[in-house]
Amino acid sequence: MKNHIAEGQQWLGRFVASNVSAPATDRATALFGIGILARRQGDYKKAETALQESLALYRESRHQFGIGQSLHHLAHIADDHSADSEKAVDLFEESLAAFREGADKWGLKPRGVRSPGTSPVRSAPRVSRSSRPGNSGYRSRSFVPV
């Protein structure tokens, strides 16, 4: 599986490198893909860099869904891999605001239960992909707005 992920990163990287004049949203989407694939491989530095670049391009083009998605995944990296819960909460909240501004129901969909007075990042349960139809093997922590 890692070879397919690496190959995907290579293809997306080639697109970004050879399409400097492509629309910002196209480049942002490719960079977002690189970030997601790098995170999946455990290369969190590369993932963070690609997602930051993606976020900048999505902001430039005012693409609220892309902004929300990039922030959401950056929050997971901050929480899971740099243990910076404060930064993660800030990123999750900014992500939520982007989804609200874009009236995006996917980003606003509740995915867990938060106990009053607890961190939204730490209190959301881990859900294995196998417990959701068609999603085997992936673990994700979900933010639930209050």
The pLDDT confidence band at residue 109, using thresholds 50, 70 and 90, is low
User: Domain containing 65: what range?
Assistant: 2-109
Domain count, the chain: 1
CATH (domain of 7): 1.25.40.10
Amino acid at 132: R
Q: In terms of residues, how long is the chain?
A: 146
138: which residues sit within 8 A by CB, 6+ positions away?
128, 129
21 belongs to a structural domain: yes
119 belongs to a structural domain: no
145 belongs to a structural domain: no
- The pLDDT tens digits of the residues spanning 38-80 come to 999 899 999 999 999 999 999 999 999 999 999 999 999 998 8
